[in-house]
Amino acid sequence: RPFPRLFRRPPKRRWAAPFTFRLRCPPADMLVRVLGLRDYEEIWELQRRLAADRAADRVPDTLLLVEHHPVFTRGRSSRQPIPSSLPYPLHTVERGGDITYHGPGQLVGYPILHLGRLGLGVRDYLRALETVLIEALAAWDLEAERLRGFTGVWHKGRKLASIGVAVKNRVSFHGFALNVNCDLEPFARIHPCRLEPEQISSMSGALGRQVEADQVVGGLAQAFLGAFAGPAREKSHSPMFRAP
C-alpha cells in the first residue's frame, strides 16, 4: 500500500507546520501527528488525554512524533538517586525506567495504542517498538540491534534509542526516544540505565555526518504504520512481535 508523498520526501524546512496523517485500512484507523518542538508538560498532558479517549473509543490509535525543549524525566518506580544541580527541569512520570534526557535533535514517539485490540502484552509491545526502530535505522544503513538485559536499540555497543512505556486500561502511552543529532552532554549528568557517557550515541555520531530529525520522521512513521496498522492483527502473533 503506497504512502503519501509526505512520507517519501522530508520537508524543505525543519519542522514545517505541524501536520496529521490519517491511515485507514480496515479494520485499522490510525493517526500520526507530527508536532515539532514542544514543551514536555504540554505533550505529557496531551498523552494522558488521548489515552483516556482511546480507552473510551473516542479516538483511534495515534502516534505522536515530537522534539522537546531540554528536560529530564524519571520513571515513578525508579530507585536511581536524583543527581543534584540538574540544568533542566525534572519530571517524575508514569513510564517505567530510570532518569533520561530529552532535547532538540531527539525524535520522541508516543504511541497511544489499544494493546488489547492489537493482541499485545507489554513485553511483546516493547519488542515490537524495538523492531520498528531497528527497521527505521536500517533505512539509513545503520545495523541496530537489541542488547540482552536492556530495553532499547543499540549500534556497535552504543545506545541510539531508549524505550519507556506506561499502560492504563490496556492503552499505551509514553514510548521511545531516538537520538538523531541531540546534545549528548546531559546524559553524562544522569548515567541513564547505569550507562557510561561513551555508551550513548546518536544517528549523526554513528554516521559521521549531520542528520536532522525531520529527515527521519517519514521512515520512522512508515516503519511504525507497517507494524501496527492493519496487518498488526496478524503480525502480533508472528515471531517479530514475541518477547524472547
Q: Is the pLDDT of residue 133 over 80?
A: yes
Contact (Cβ atoms closer than 8 angstroms) between residue 152 and residue 130: yes
Q: Which residue has the cell 479494520?
A: 27
Average pLDDT of span 27-48: 90
- Which 8-state DSSP code applies to residue 213? H
Specify the pLDDT at position 84.
Answer: 86
Q: Which of 9-18, 135-144, 152-161, 182-191 has the lowest mean pLDDT?
A: 9-18
Q: Which of 79-83, 152-156, 206-210 has the lowest mean pLDDT?
A: 79-83
Average pLDDT of span 138-146: 97
Q: pLDDT, tens digit, for every residue of 78-126?
A: 888 888 889 999 999 999 989 999 999 999 999 999 999 999 999 999 9
pLDDT band at 20 (very low <50, low <70, confident <90, very high): low
Three-state DSSP string of 70-139? CEEEEECCCCCCCCCCCCCCEEEECCCCCCEEECCCEEEEEEECEHHHHCCCHHHHHHHHHHHHHHHHHC
Residue 119 cell numbers, joined: 493482541
- Residue 67: name the closest of 219, 216, 194, 226 by CA: 216
Which of the residues are catalytic? 193
In-domain check, residue 182? yes
Residue 173 cell numbers, joined: 502511552
Q: What is the distance between the alpha carbons of residues 88 and 59, in angstroms, rounded to a whole number?
A: 33
In-domain check, residue 92? yes
Domain housing 183: 24-77+86-241
- Tell me, what CATH number does 213's domain have? 3.30.930.10
In-domain check, residue 232? yes
Specify the pLDDT at position 21.
Answer: 53
Q: Mean pLDDT for the chain?
A: 85
Domain count, the chain: 1
CB atoms within 10 A of CB 211: 18
- Residue 219: name the closest of 201, 235, 203, 232 by CA: 203
pTM: 0.85
In-domain check, residue 119? yes
In-domain check, residue 159? yes
Distances (CA, A) of 78 to 43, 192, 193, 210: 22, 11, 10, 34
- Residue 16: name the closest of 178, 181, 215, 210 by CA: 215
Sheet of strand 61-68, all strands in order from the earlier edge strand to the far edge: 19-25, 28-38, 61-68, 106-112, 171-179, 158-168, 153-155
In-domain check, residue 131? yes
In-domain check, residue 13? no
210 CB-side CA count, 13 A = 4
Residue 64 cell numbers, joined: 505522536
Q: What is the distance between the alpha carbons of residues 1 and 81, in angstroms, rounded to a whole number?
A: 48
Specify the pLDDT at position 135.
Answer: 97
In-domain check, residue 34? yes
